[in-house]
Amino acid sequence: MKKVSGLLFAVAFAMAAGGAVAQEYVIKFSHVVAPGTPKGKAADLFAKLVNERMKGRVKVEVFPNSQLYNDNKVMEAMRLSDSRTTGIMAAPSLSKFVKFSRTIQAFDIPYLFNDINDVHKLVDSPIMEKMTKPLERKGLKALSLWDNGMKVFSIRGDKPLKKVPDDFRGKKFRIQSSEVHAAMIKALGGVPQKLPFKEVYQALSQGVVDGQENAWSNVYSKKFYEVQDYITVSNHSYLGYMVVVSAEFWNNLPDDIRKELTAILAEATAANRRFAAEADKGDRAKIEAAGKARVVELTPEELAQWRKAVAGVEGQFEKQIGKDLLAEIHKLLGH
C-alpha cells in the first residue's frame, strides 16, 4: 500500500512538475538589410542577449536581407498574426509607418534635423509617444527607434550633385515609399522613383534610376558605390527604423518577460547608436578607399541653396503631420 501511495505521489509530482514547465515564446525578427549594418548588428545583439538571459523562456531568431519578409509584407504579417506564443518583430524604415500615423512624416522633412543629436532629442522625448500611439490601433506595438544615420546622395554621371536644381534636373532618384521624399526630390529638380530596397542595386546598375539617397552603411553594405560615380555629403534627412512587434503577442506576454525584453531592447538600442556612429565614419572611409565613387562635400553656400530649395516641403505636409506637433518639435530642437 505504501508502495502504491508512493508511486501515486511520484506520478502526481511529475505531472505537477510537467505542468509547471514555462511556455517558451519565439520571436522571429525580420529585417531587410545586411547583418553588418547598424540595424543588422543591433538585431543580432538583441537576439544574443535574449537567448542567453532568457533561455527556455524566450527565443529570438533573426532573418536578415528580406529572407522572411520585406518591410511591406512583414507589417501585414504582424497585423494578421493571432499567435500568442510566436511573435513577429521587425524594424522597417520610418516611412513605412506613415499610412498608420501621418505624424511619422516629420522624420522625412529635409533639414529638420541639423545632426543625429537633434534626432535623438526627438526620439527620447515624450513627443515620440504621441507619434507612435496610433500604431496600436493598427495592431502594431512600437518598442524603440534605431539609427542608420543621416542620408547622403549618390549619382551616376559625369558630374556630382552640387548645384540645385541644375545637377538634379532630368535625373531619376530612387526613394523610399514616402510622399515627403518625393516632394523633396521634385523641389531639388529631380524625378522621384519609388523602389523596394532590395531592387536598388540592380536599378542603379542598369540605369533604371540615376541615383539614390541613403545612409553610409547601406551605400557600403549593398555596394551602391560600385555603380555610382559621385556621393554628395548632403546630410539632408534621417534614415531610421522603428522596432515594432505584433501588439496582440506583446500585450499577452507575462509582465516579467515583457519587462526583461524591454530592458534588453534598451541595451540593443544604445548599441545601435554606437554602431551607426561608427558606420558613418568607417563605411565612408571604406567607400573612399575603394576608389570607385568620389565623395564630394558641399560648400556653405551650396548647402544654403539646398536648404532654400527644399524649404517649402514642410509646409506641404504641415496639415497631415499637425501644425501644433511640428511647432513642438521645432521648439524642442531650438529652431
> Is the pLDDT reported for residue 194 higher than 70?
yes
Per-residue confidence at 75, pLDDT binned at 50, 70, 90? confident
Residue percentage of the chain with pLDDT more than 90: 80
Question: What is the rounded CA–CA span in Å between residue 327 and residue 270?
Answer: 28
Question: What is the rounded CA–CA span in Å between residue 281 and residue 283?
Answer: 6
Nearest 10 degrees: Cα torsion 152, 146, 99, 84? 150
Question: Which tens digit of pLDDT belongs to each residue from 143-192?
Answer: 999 999 999 999 999 999 999 999 999 999 999 989 999 999 999 999 99
What pLDDT score was predicted for residue 19?
A: 46
Which is more confidently placed, 16 or 227? 227
What is the residue type of 83? S
Residue 89's beta-bridge partner residues? 29, 245
In angstroms, the Cα distances linking 100 to 93, 104, 152 are 13, 9, 27
Q: What average pLDDT does range 56-73 have in this prediction?
A: 90
3-state secondary structure of 1: coil
Question: What is the rounded CA–CA span in Å between residue 187 and residue 181?
Answer: 10
What pLDDT score was predicted for residue 95?
A: 86
Question: Which tens digit of pLDDT belongs to each residue from 209-265?
Answer: 999 999 999 999 999 999 999 999 999 999 999 999 999 999 999 999 999 999 999
Q: What average pLDDT does range 105-134 have in this prediction?
A: 96
What pLDDT score was predicted for residue 22?
A: 66
* Pairing of β 140-150 and β 238-246: antiparallel
Question: What is the rounded CA–CA span in Å between residue 201 and residue 219?
Answer: 10
What pLDDT score was predicted for residue 2?
A: 46
What pLDDT score was predicted for residue 335?
A: 84
Do 160 and 228 touch, CB atoms closer than 8 A?
no
What pLDDT score was predicted for residue 21?
A: 55
Q: Where are the alpha helices (DSSP H) in 33-115?
A: 38-53, 71-80
Question: What is the rounded CA–CA span in Å between residue 209 and residue 68?
Answer: 27
Question: What is the rounded CA–CA span in Å between residue 146 and residue 149?
Answer: 9
Question: Which tens digit of pLDDT belongs to each residue from 258-278?
Answer: 999 999 999 999 999 999 999
Q: Say what the pTM is.
A: 0.86
Question: What is the rounded CA–CA span in Å between residue 309 and residue 187?
Answer: 6
Do 157 and 246 touch, CB atoms closer than 8 A?
no
Written as nine digits, the cell of 114 is 541639423
> Is the pLDDT reported for residue 49 higher than 70?
yes
Residue percentage of the chain with pLDDT more than 70: 93
Number of helical H runs and strand E runs in the chain: 14, 11
In sequence order, which residues have a C-beta less than 8 Å from that of residue 312 and are 6 or more positions away? 187
**Omega prior to 35 cis, within 30 of 0:** no
